[in-house]
Amino acid sequence: MNDLTAVDVLVDPDGTTLEHARAWNARMRESVPDGFALDASHRPHITTLQRYVRTADLAEVYDAVHRILAETDTSALSYRAVAIGHADWGVPGQGLAVILLRPGPQVFDFQAALLAAVSPFTESGGTAAAFVTDPGEGISRSTLDWVDGYVPAQIGPDLYTAHITVGFATLDDLTAIEAEPFEAFTVRPASFAVYQLGNSGAARKLLWSRPVPN
């Protein structure tokens, strides 16, 4: 098998959105104190595409993403934060909480273009070696399978669930949190990046980035 890297082609959101994400992360850590904190190695982000790519082809992946950005009106890409939700992620009694986003239509065109550009450099069957890990840390089966199955499971208007992950909480606490009123807000890109993934879809290691053009 080729040496593979698990990558996330993602959107770094604007500063106001980062403040919201960190506030929600703090609340989740009240529920699960040993859950991860949003920091330099767990960046708040909006995934557009996750794939296992051949490590030897990473430079070509960066060039492909750069080309698609040059062809895209990035000022038209926007999202609306509409709710707190969660997914069960292999931890009994806990859920992985997210800010759910409603993407604008241009986001789907952007995702499709990225997929076409990056696909020549992808493989399936990535292992824990494809991820960033802390000493003694393994990669959960749910994380391995999520990256492998991102295409087609999260591609296009009927399947893509845009979100910002904000941490783990107990299912009981999430039931109460999700029942509270949520004040919607607009999310805009500040930059675009390729990260190497860690456990639970965390953006752990910056590999390449470009700011939104002025």
What CATH number is attached to the domain comprising 158? 3.90.1140.10
**Is residue 122 in a domain?**
yes
pLDDT of residue 166: 95
Rounded to two decimals, the pTM is 0.92
Domain boundaries, position 119? 4-208
Residues 6+ apart with CB under 8 A from 183: none
User: What does the alpha-carbon distance between residue 196 and residue 199 come to, in Å, rounded to a whole number?
Assistant: 10
**Is residue 138 in a domain?**
yes
Report yes or no: 209 and 193 within 8 Å, Cβ to Cβ: yes
Q: How confident is the model at residue 15 (pLDDT cuts 50, 70, 90)?
A: very high
Quick one: CA torsion of 66, 191, 39, 185, rounded to 10 degrees? Answer: -140
**Alpha-carbon distances of 15 from 69, 124, 186, rounded to whole Å:** 21, 35, 12
**Is residue 214 in a domain?**
no
**Is residue 174 in a domain?**
yes
Domains held by the chain: number: 1
163 or 89, which is more confident? Answer: 163
Residues 6+ apart with CB under 8 A from 107: 48, 77, 78, 79, 160, 162
Residue 185 has pLDDT above 60, yes or no: yes
Residue 116 has pLDDT above 60, yes or no: yes
Could you give the percent of the chain with pLDDT greater than 70? 98
pLDDT of residue 52: 98
